[in-house]
Chain A
Amino acid sequence: MNYEKYEFVLESPDLREFRFYSVGPNGRIPMVILFQQMYGDLYNLAFGEYDQGESINDHGQIRNLDRNKILATVASAIFEFLNRYPDRLICFSGSSDSRCRLYRMAISINLIQLSKELQIFGCVRTNDQSIIEPFVKSGMYHEFLIRKK
């Protein structure tokens, strides 16, 4: 991951919560990354601005012109989480087609390096169902699944 990242990230003792600040033209914005259990060892990933008392959704805009820096920081947190919990599977999706495309591009650009230590899968939708396949750059995925190799 050769992108610039935020250098310091706070983590909770159980690694299900990470905090850092996005810094840019709109100031210093607190960010949070969450890993929340869905089923068994399957965990949902979400990240966004942290506003005390508010839940985290994935509709928020990234306002500090630091999109790639935030995504690279999130990728590092995924690795940190899976390093502690190698038997867990992380899933995430984009809230819109453009957000899904952004995630696909970010993974594709870094696929060689990410694949050294992680297994990445995408979900392909057909009608009302979907199947999981190993991530390929040309895949039109709406959901993504990541585990440690």
Chain B
Amino acid sequence: MKNDEKKMISEVWGVKFIMDPSLTEDKRPKICPEKMARDKDNISRITYWPPELEKFRPYFNDSDSNE
């Protein structure tokens, strides 16, 4: 198989997912900085994380609390 060949990987709820090797990280669009900043700010304001999510909880110090 060629490296750039597409192949079907899986099917979820009727959607066929096809792996495309040309979708590489260096060509990937980014989430706009304003949205990312807003979502990071929202995350930083969460004061209670349930125990099952505690391991995902980011900890902020004073210098990055406004990231």
> Is residue A111 contacting chain B, with contact meaning CB distance below 8 A?
no
A39 touches B43 (CB 8 A): yes
Q: Summarize B's interface: helix, strand, loop or mixed.
A: mixed
> Given that A76-B12, A123-B46 are known contacts, is A46 also in contact with B40, CB under 8 Å in the complex?
no
A50 touches B29 (CB 8 A): yes
- Name the B residues within 8 Å of A92 (CB-CB): 39
Cα of A1 to Cα of B14 in the assembled complex, Å? 9
**Could you tell me which residues of chain B, from 29 to 63, have a CB within 8 Å of some CB in chain A?**
29-36, 38-40, 42-43, 45-50, 52-53, 55-56, 58
Q: How many residues of A contact B (CB 8 A)?
A: 61
Q: How many A-B residue pairs have CB under 8 A?
A: 154
Which of A76, A92, A133, A147: most chain B CB closer than 10 A? Answer: A76
Query: Which residue in chain B gives the minimum CB-CB distance to A53?
Result: B29
Q: Summarize A's interface: helix, strand, loop or mixed.
A: strand
> Is residue A6 contacting chain B, with contact meaning CB distance below 8 A?
yes
Query: Which residue in chain B gives the minimum CB-CB distance to A6?
Result: B15
B residues near A, CB below 8 A? 6, 9-10, 12-21, 23-25, 28-36, 38-40, 42-43, 45-50, 52-53, 55-56, 58
A residues near B, CB below 8 A? 1, 5-14, 16-19, 32, 34, 36, 38-42, 44, 46, 50, 52-58, 72-73, 75-77, 79-80, 83, 89, 91-93, 95, 119, 121, 123, 125, 128-134, 142-143, 145, 147
